[in-house]
Structure 1
């Protein structure tokens, strides 16, 4: 089958977020064809290029979310009226107070589809979304009777901020992807995230009846709820309403929703996803690089703790360093190796803070168990003077520690499990789900509990060995590439089987090819039942008719 893979800031770009699992998925499903539709996050990502693509990737089309070109089209009177109508409905849906009797979800979806049809057949949507007309429509919706209180309190700077954000979020509507030879030619769409990546799938479903599924390893709506904490209430309320409406429409129209763990699944249910559509698919990892360490009978330094990951405030290395101060007091021979580089400027500043804290907590002692200048805490980076790979990093210690206060699916923890290492982790995100009883879990931001768990494992090598063996067996059963690829292959086949899509087959002259599809393929529902006089294919009901054809 032909699959339209929709990505945002990921595959096929080098170093893209979430690109690795997409690459493994495409390589694993070599009997299918892939058309990749990718959003880039910046000029630097585009300059870095793409990863090597397998032959089953037949086409790659990219678009920047960080910039957009105006097509120069100026709306005529009729197009301006349609824009005011659709954009007014969209902003009214965002500003409306929560009322179960009001079908705001339908109003939101109709407005988005109307704007998409306007962009597809008329163009000019970019300049319209940036115009004063859009800001005034938003202002009228905020001042309308029945608008929520936060919206009524919006001031001019708030309106400008929200209008600018809506213009960025609606940029995918203006792309030229929604044609018969574009997304209309695929058998199904697979959006690798919610939000912008899912919007083209929604439009392909609307224009052509293409079924789609959505994968979220981190729930995008939850991310929007947690961002902009310092913004005015009106801005937070309106943007949350927009992203909430987009997520609700995505979940409603998707054939399947595939969270990467139960933690994400609970969030999706809370945000309106139908439980019957949910299928948990764990991220797949290649166990081969960890086989030598995981199957090795020898144990690493029994006094060493290892932390591996990207250095950033969410990892809470400060609590880990305070915990290690207690560990060091109980076990004077213990050492801590922090292996990983900073994540951006914020991570670099946080790394500097952690280095200073380590120097303060563990001053060099001439009479101590270690020589002067040999601090028991070391900061290293992969590929530098330290370990060459993550497998070598986990092999360097007897226990792997995770101290995060925020975590999605803990990939680093699964790497430690594949290495057969006992782990001590904080109870955040999907940690408990991944560990499943094969490691120790403590509350976050609790250095004393973290220290107690680490000391108990450092003093009990037999327990470490048992937990490590159980952890490796669990990781090989649940978190490999093979199970991930097989799960998506099954979902692809089930989706297409449940939602047959008719494509118009043309001959060499461009005319429809007679008898290219069997007649029974045009009958909706089961072929033995009478569909009734009003039953028509879904693609026929949802496809707008261009104005030129209407005139004829």
Structure 2
């Protein structure tokens, strides 16, 4: 089959998010053809280039979300603004979109709320979702007919539509006070999110030729998949290892945005997320924590199927097989691995280690971090170093090497950087101190190495370790210290927990299990929701009855008159999360009926 992989700020760029798991997925499914459609986030990402792609990637198309060419801007939009009818169509569509956004998605939809046509209570939510969808696809059809809408989406018409909607009865309270500057900021960010509408990716020689669109996140990355389904009936699969709407809400707090602009953008992204979840055939969160967020944001529970991200275990196999070689010589070292940023709460870890040193004077702490990127990370690392020098003034002064200093800061990739597997091997207890966490990669690596862990109860931590490590509340240095001391004093317990952790990681978190899960999901979706394409003869004329119903049957025998009946039969008998849920057959049934009627007329 041909799979269109849709990414934003990720694969195939060298420093893209989710690059590793996408590359492992593509290489693991060599029997399929992959087309990559990538949206880049900044100039630096494009400048660093792309990874070497396997031969099954037959096409790569990219588009930037970070730049806007002035010449393209002048020519973009409804024929550069020359068509009166096109301008009227645009004004009508965007007015409806602005009205729904400014109302905040009534009855629980939008503005960070949840609900979709399949889950929200009452007919009001259905109406809101339908209005947003009508406006979105109306803009998409206009962009296809007129060659793009970049200019139109940055025009005065947009600002006026938002201003009118903010002043209308029923608008969000925060939106009512929006000034022109707020509307300009909101309009610019909405245009950026909707820029995929203006791409030429939706023809029969691009996304229209795919058998399946696989979006590796929600938001703008999934928007091309929505349009491929709208224009060509291509089924959409959405994978989120970090829920895009949650990431938007977390990032908005650190942005210099006014309350009105923040409210408008939250409403827009909430509505877009609900539409993505509503149109997706399946949604695959990376853990139960992400799954709960998706349900809150409007995802139908019947569509959700957890698929853990696959991680490479081979580099840690030797360390894991050795485990704790000699219980009498278990390292009295706490090890922390990750990116240095405030969410990792290294401040609490350092205070906890001060208490650990009071109980266990020979204990040491190694902080092995990726290079700090950005001023915030650099400043936070400096704060941590200063705190370490303050807490251990006599010991830390002038000491930098492991063994001379109870607290060491080491950089992954530096000239004297430790090998990551050997760093885990040198740690007696692996510590995670985060206050915000998605899928804890460092914990899984520690589990592959057969190491005991102490973690804060955030994100998917409890789900990942599953009872094979100790868990304490976040922002509680004393509890963190007590758990670390308990394991440092009990090497036999460390060995038991480490062995159980390694067995769990090898069962759930390997690349092999991830690839196998998506291999089955791909086949399931394509067999139950095939794309209907008319067969053409050499003259380009449709060939009647070229696709018999039996060709679409997923099973060996033709037990029903068409794929829609098979879809309905499978969904009626399947349990939640297995088979194909009832929503999968609806659009296919309508398409099949149209196909049969067309054949009968011919």
TM-score normalised by length of structure 2: 0.85
* SS of the residue 2:4 aligns to: strand
Q: Distance in 1 between matches of 2:455 and 2:499?
A: 17
Task: Give the C-alpha shift of residue 390 in structure 1.
Answer: 2.0
Q: Distance in 1 between matches of 2:252 and 2:138?
A: 29
Q: Is the counterpart of residue 410 in structure 1 residue 410 in structure 2? A: no
1:176-215, CA deviations, whole angstroms, 9 ceiling, x for partnerless residues?
Answer: 0010111000001000000011100001011111101100
Question: Which residue number in structure 2 is paired with residue 25 of structure 1?
Answer: 25
Among 547, 560, 564, which residue is 1:525 paired with?
564
Task: Give the C-alpha shift of residue 147 in structure 1.
Answer: 1.8
Question: Which residue number in structure 2 is paired with residue 56 of structure 1?
Answer: 56
Q: Is the counterpart of residue 537 in structure 1 residue 591 in structure 2? A: yes
Distance 1:364 1:212, change over 3 A: same
* SS of the residue 1:525 aligns to: helix
Q: Distance in 1 between matches of 2:487 and 2:403?
A: 28
* SS of the residue 1:16 aligns to: coil
Question: Which residue number in structure 1 is paired with residue 189 of structure 2?
Answer: 165
Question: Which residue number in structure 1 is paired with residue 483 of structure 2?
Answer: 453
Among 258, 263, 268, which residue is 2:289 paired with?
263
Q: Which one is further off, 356-365 or 92-101?
A: 92-101
Question: Which residue number in structure 2 is paired with residue 241 of structure 1?
Answer: 267
* SS of the residue 1:378 aligns to: strand
Question: Which residue number in structure 2 is paired with residue 493 of structure 1?
Answer: 523
Q: Distance in 1 between matches of 2:250 and 2:128?
A: 24
The 5 A counterparts of 1:89-104 are 89-96=96-103, 98-99=106-107, 100-102=122-124, 103-104=127-128
Runs of 4+, deviation exceeding 4 Å: 370-373, 505-516, 519-524, 538-541
Among 420, 430, 433, which residue is 2:463 paired with?
433
Task: Give the C-alpha shift of residue 107 in structure 1.
Answer: 0.4
Question: Which residue number in structure 2 is paired with residue 318 of structure 1?
Answer: 347
Among 394, 397, 402, which residue is 1:364 paired with?
394
The 5 A counterparts of 1:121-136 are 121-136=145-160
Question: Which residue number in structure 2 is paired with residue 34 of structure 1?
Answer: 34
Among 181, 185, 198, which residue is 1:174 paired with?
198
Question: Which residue number in structure 2 is paired with residue 78 of structure 1?
Answer: 85
Residue 395 of structure 2 contacts residue 406 of structure 2 at CA under 8 Å; is this kept in 1? Answer: no
Among 307, 330, 349, which residue is 1:281 paired with?
307
Distance 1:538 1:214, change over 3 A: farther
* SS of the residue 1:409 aligns to: coil
Q: Which one is further off, 311-320 or 93-102?
A: 93-102
Question: Which residue number in structure 1 is paired with residue 161 of structure 2?
Answer: 137
* SS of the residue 1:391 aligns to: helix
* SS of the residue 1:364 aligns to: helix
Task: Give the C-alpha shift of residue 330 in structure 1.
Answer: 0.6
Q: Which one is further off, 32-41 or 514-523?
A: 514-523
* SS of the residue 2:270 aligns to: helix
Question: Which residue number in structure 1 is paired with residue 361 of structure 2?
Answer: 332
The 5 A counterparts of 1:202-221 are 202-221=226-245
Q: Distance in 2 between matches of 1:364 and 1:164?
A: 54
Q: Distance in 1 between matches of 2:358 and 2:415?
A: 28
Q: Distance in 2 between matches of 1:539 and 1:231?
A: 49
* SS of the residue 1:449 aligns to: helix
Q: Distance in 2 between matches of 1:482 and 1:398?
A: 28
Q: Distance in 1 between matches of 2:358 and 2:406?
A: 12
TM-score normalised by length of structure 1: 0.92
Question: Which residue number in structure 2 is paired with residue 250 of structure 1?
Answer: 276
Question: Which residue number in structure 2 is paired with residue 478 of structure 1?
Answer: 508
Distance 1:379 1:482, change over 3 A: same
Question: Which residue number in structure 2 is paired with residue 87 of structure 1?
Answer: 94
Task: Give the C-alpha shift of residue 510 in structure 1.
Answer: 5.3
Unaligned runs of 5+ in 1: 542-552
* SS of the residue 1:213 aligns to: strand
Q: Distance in 2 between matches of 1:64 and 1:540?
A: 38
Q: Distance in 2 between matches of 1:359 and 1:74?
A: 62
Residue 185 of structure 2 contacts residue 261 of structure 2 at CA under 8 Å; is this kept in 1? Answer: yes
Residue 422 of structure 1 contacts residue 465 of structure 1 at CA under 8 Å; is this kept in 2? Answer: yes
Residue 68 of structure 1 contacts residue 171 of structure 1 at CA under 8 Å; is this kept in 2? Answer: no
1:423-465, CA deviations, whole angstroms, 9 ceiling, x for partnerless residues?
Answer: 0000010000001000000011100000000000000000000
Q: Distance in 2 between matches of 1:422 and 1:406?
A: 21
Q: Is the counterpart of residue 290 in structure 1 residue 316 in structure 2? A: yes
* SS of the residue 2:475 aligns to: coil
Distance 1:474 1:133, change over 3 A: same
The 5 A counterparts of 1:338-353 are 338-340=367-369, 341-353=371-383
Task: Give the C-alpha shift of residue 399 in structure 1.
Answer: 0.6
Residue 263 of structure 1 contacts residue 430 of structure 1 at CA under 8 Å; is this kept in 2? Answer: yes
* SS of the residue 2:565 aligns to: coil
Question: Which residue number in structure 2 is paired with residue 3 of structure 1?
Answer: 3
1:490-539, CA deviations, whole angstroms, 9 ceiling, x for partnerless residues?
Answer: 1111111111212244566655567653366696733999x9xxx85279
- Count of residues in Structure 1 that have an aligned counterpart in Structure 2: 535
**CA-based RMSD:** 2.5
Task: Give the C-alpha shift of residue 155 in structure 1.
Answer: 1.5
Residue 564 of structure 2 contacts residue 592 of structure 2 at CA under 8 Å; is this kept in 1? Answer: no
Q: Distance in 2 between matches of 1:42 and 1:51?
A: 17
* SS of the residue 2:25 aligns to: helix
Q: Distance in 2 between matches of 1:371 and 1:149?
A: 57
Distance 1:284 1:527, change over 3 A: closer
Distance 1:205 1:365, change over 3 A: closer
* SS of the residue 1:223 aligns to: helix
Unaligned runs of 5+ in 2: 108-121, 553-561, 569-584, 596-602
Distance 1:96 1:539, change over 3 A: farther
